[in-house]
Each structure stands twice: as structure tokens, then as C-alpha cells.
Structure 1
Amino acid sequence: MKAYVFPGQGSQFKGMGLDIYQSSEAARTLFDQANQIVGYDLTRIMFEGTDEELKQTIYTQPAVLLHSVVLALTTDAFAPDRFDVSMVAGHSLGELSALTAAGVLSFENGLTLASIRATAMQRACELAPSSMAAVLGLPDDVIEQICAGITDEIIVPANYNCPGQVVISGSLKGIELAAEQLKAAGAKRVLPLAVGGAFHSPFMESARDEFARAVEAMPFSTPRCPVYQNVNAQPTQDPETIKANLIAQLTAPVRWTQSVENMAAAGATEFIECGPGKVLQGLVKKIVPSVTVLAV
């Protein structure tokens, strides 16, 4: 069984999508439509922009979704008349890409929601200083206990990426306090991440509210295959459940480890990354070493 997985923010790179733009007429049409949908020259930023420009959340999220969805929609596996995908999942922003590829959202609405999400999260980041850090080499429960024990600052587990790699999210002081305790508990490393703010934490509450209004106003269709969502790592094909989980995701942790484990338990033997970079291929192989990992 084939599972397609879609990356999130952090997988972007300068020149992303240019190869498929130059080689596929269908891709060119979608890229050109995307510029009209978002209201600025997104493809110029992807193809020619500086690294700093591409790292800005307001551009990164639409760019990663666009690259991922164009790959999916120009791949035979996602063609409506010969759909050959058993299940999909996306990491954080990638969940929107997965929903668009699986037919829950139209191309226009998927890209519109990515742009709204990015803008809302950027605004939330500007309200208060916050950040994230990757914790390597500690069990999940130890990280959870240490974060829960810091009560005078906001600090929470944000991304369960793979065994031995969890990202924490919170205030700058919270990151500092947690890092000290995590290292004392035996963490191999605690690496600050170059991000705009504390994603998947209470710092994103204002973004969640803004995003929720946009999601509720959009039509959601039944996906062509089960979608494993970040908030609970469970499959669903119910549009209303998908909406609720997509909204909750902004302030809830990304349960990627659990999602991949559940997809493998449901019969997935091939995990195919659809989007820029190779991050998810590496994570999947660490979570379930027995499966085959590929890229579109």
C-alpha cells in the first residue's frame, strides 16, 4: 500500500519548483494560477528569491504547499480517474497539501488557506517573542514531564518528529529553562531553531482563531482516501472532523511519529514524499525502518 506524505515549513529551498515549471505545461498552468490566487509573484520568490525572503513564513507556507500540490496533481497516482493512493498525511502545513492533493480542497482554496494561515501565524509571532528548539536523545515522556514542570513560562512539546527527536515550543525564557533541565536529564543536544515564533503552542491562539474563520467558510469535500491528521494521528474521511482537526493543529502538537506508526500498522509499505526536500523520508525511515521510502 502506498502512503503519500507532504512536508511542512523548513523544507523550502531557493529554486524550488523551477525544474517542473520548465518541464511540464500542466505545472506551468498551476504555477501561473497560483500567482493570481495569492496576489503577488510567488513563483519569482520560489525560483529567484533570496534565502531570507523564502524563509519568511508568509511566503514559505504558500510556496511549500504550491510545490507539493503541483507535484501531486501532475503525478499519475493522484489523477481522479486512476487514483492510486491508499492514505495521505502532511507534517504541519503539509496537512493542507495532503488535503488538497486528496481532493478535500480545490487547488485555489488550498492555496488560499495556506496564505491565510501563514499571514495569521506571522501576526501571532509578532505579538510576543517566542521560539522553538529541537531536543535530541530523550524519551518523549521525559520531555513532556520537564515541560509540564515549568509552570511560570509557556513551554510545550510541539513536534513529535521521530523517536529521539521532539521539538519544543514556547517563550524565550521557557526554551532556556527547559534546555537546562533537558540537558541535565541526558539530552544529547538541544538545538534552537531559526523560526519566527512558537508554532503549535498557545502563542498561536490568535492565529488559530483567524484561521478558523477562513476554514469554516470554505467547502470541504470527502477525501479520496483516509487522511491521517496531526492532532490525533488517526485516519478520517469526514469533512467536519477534518475541519476541526485542521483548526486545532495550530496550537496542538504535530504527532508525526504516531501518524507514521499508525499508517504502517494499517498496511502502508511505501511512503512517498511529495514536496521539496527529503526531511520526511529520513523521519519515516527512523520511525519504521522496514518500509520503503521514496520521493515523487
Structure 2
Amino acid sequence: MKAYVFPGQGAQFTGMGKELYEKSDEAKALFEKANEILGFRITDIMFEGTADELKETKVTQPAVFLHSVILAKTLGADFKPDMVAGHSLGEFSALVAAGALTFEDGLNLVSKRAIAMQKACEIAPSTMAAVLGLEDKIVEEICERTEGIVVAANYNCPGQLVISGETPAVERACEALKIAGARRALLLPVGGAFHSPMMEPAREKLADAIAATTFSKPICPIYQNVTATAVINPEEIKENLIVQLTAPVRWTQSVQNMIADGATLFTEAGPGNVLQGLVKKINKEAQTASAS
């Protein structure tokens, strides 16, 4: 069975999508439509911008979304997923690719999500840290007993978990995690504490936008970050998407469940190959590929 997976923020690179734009009339039309919807030429930044320009939240999230969705759409009849999943932001790409959201609605939601997250980041100093070499349960327990807000945010693969919260609390947790035997506990160069209670203001803003958007039944199940299980009901998809900003990304569990449900080939649609690497670390027998 074929699973398509869609990357999140951090997968961006200068030049992303340019080859698609130049090779496909369909891709070019969709990129130009995106420029109109966003009110600025995001394609100029994607194709020619600097790494710093691409790092701006209002650019990064739509850019990764556009690269992923347009790539999937240009596959045409070859795009026949039995299941889909996306990492954080990538969940929106997966929903559009699987027909649960229109291209226009998906892009509008991603743009609103990016702006809302940026504003939430400005309220209080917050950050994220990568923790390597510890069991999830130990990381969770240390977060629970650390003073301040710090939680497990991204379950990326066994032995690789990202924590998120108030900067002082994340720093305290990192020290405790190193003492507990973590191979690394390293602060990440991110704008704020994604997938933590610190994103509550963004969740509230995005909830209204999601509630006002029409969702359709996707062509295949989507394994959502919040539940890590197959979802096909549009109302359930909406509810999970609203919770997603303040809840952890259960990527390890999603991939494990997809494999248990019959996935044999994971094809990554979008910039980079980070998800292929994570899938292999979750199950070394799984086959992976890049969409092209």
C-alpha cells in the first residue's frame, strides 16, 4: 500500500519549486494563483530569495505547503495514495493533496496559521529543543517535573523527541535531560514554542478560520498528528486540526500505525527528504522514495 507523507517547516531551501514552475504549465498556474491569494510574489522568494528571507514565518509555511501540494498535483493520475500524513504544517499539504481541502482554502489557512503563530511567539520568550538518545517516557517525566511550561512537542522517531515551552523551562529541562543520559539536548533555532500551550493564542485565532472553512471527505484516510490514527470524517479532521497547534506531533506513532495498517512504500512529496529518514529510523524495513 502506498503512503504519501508531507514535510513541515524547516524543509525549505532557496530555489525550491523553481524547476516545477518552469517544467509544468499546471504548476506555473498554481504558483501564480498563490501569488495573487497571498498578495505578494512568494515565488520570487522561493526561487531567488536568501535563506533568511525564506525563514520568515509568513513565507516559510506557505512556501513548504506550495512546493508539496503543487508537486503532488503535477503527479496527475500517478498520485494514488492509500493513506497520507503530514508533519505539523505538512498536515495541511496532505489534506489538500487528498482532496479534503481546496488549494485556495488550504493556502489561506496556512497563511493565517503562520501569522497567528508568529504573533503568539512574540508574547513571551519561548523555544524548542531536540533531545536525542532517551526513551520518550523519561523525557515526558522530566518535562512534567520541570518548573515552568515545557512539554514533549514532536515525537519524530525512537530516541529523537523535540520539547517545547518557555525558554527558561526548556533550558532547565535540557540540563536535567543531559543528567538523565541524553546524548544531546540542544536548543533549536526556531521562533517560538510550537505544539505547546504557548500556542494557545494562535490556536484560538486559527480555530475560527478552520470552523468557517468547508472540508470534504478525503480520497483516502489521513493519519493526523493529534491522534496518529486514520481519520476520514471531515468534522473529525477539523477538530483535530484545531487542536494540532497546542498538541504534540505524534509522528512515530503515525508511521507505526500506517505500517500496521498495510503501508509498504512511503513517498515524500515536498522539499527535502527528512521524513524518509525518520520513517527508516521508525522501521528500517519500510521502503521510501521522493515524489517526482
Gaps of 5+ in 2: none
3-state secondary structure, aligned to 1:127: coil
Alpha-carbon offset, residue 50 of structure 1 = 1.1
TM-score norm. by structure 1 comes to 0.97
3-state secondary structure, aligned to 1:9: coil
Gaps of 5+ in 1: none
Between Structure 1 and Structure 2, how many residues are aligned? Answer: 291
Equivalent position of 1:96 in the other structure: 92
Equivalent position of 1:195 in the other structure: 190
The one-letter code matched in structure 2 to 1:137 is G
Residue 77 of structure 1 contacts residue 85 of structure 1 at CA under 8 Å; is this kept in 2? Answer: no
Which string of whole-angstrom CA distances, capped at 9 and with x for unpartnered residues, describes residues 168-215 of structure 1?
Answer: 001111111101110000000011111000000011000000000000
Partner residue of 1:165 out of 160, 165, 172: 160
Alpha-carbon offset, residue 77 of structure 1 = 4.6
Equivalent position of 1:69 in the other structure: 69
TM-score norm. by structure 2 comes to 0.98
The 5 A counterparts of 1:202-241 are 202-241=197-236
3-state secondary structure, aligned to 2:80: coil
The runs of at least 4 consecutive aligned structure 1 residues that moved more than 6 Å come to: none
Partner Cα separation in structure 2 for residue 51 and residue 106 of structure 1: 29
State the superposition RMSD in angstroms.
Answer: 0.8
Alpha-carbon offset, residue 91 of structure 1 = 0.1
Partner Cα separation in structure 1 for residue 49 and residue 130 of structure 2: 27
3-state secondary structure, aligned to 1:197: coil
Partner Cα separation in structure 2 for residue 105 and residue 237 of structure 1: 12
The one-letter code matched in structure 1 to 2:47 is F
Equivalent position of 1:254 in the other structure: 249
Which string of whole-angstrom CA distances, capped at 9 and with x for unpartnered residues, describes residues 27-83 of structure 1?
Answer: 1011000000111111111011111110111110000000000001111356xxxx5
Aligned identity (percent) is 63
Partner Cα separation in structure 2 for residue 35 and residue 289 of structure 1: 40
Equivalent position of 1:44 in the other structure: 44
Equivalent position of 1:58 in the other structure: 58
Partner Cα separation in structure 2 for residue 49 and residue 221 of structure 1: 35
Partner residue of 2:121 out of 113, 121, 125: 125
1:84 corresponds to 2:80: yes
Equivalent position of 1:35 in the other structure: 35
3-state secondary structure, aligned to 2:122: helix
Residue 12 of structure 1 contacts residue 64 of structure 1 at CA under 8 Å; is this kept in 2? Answer: yes
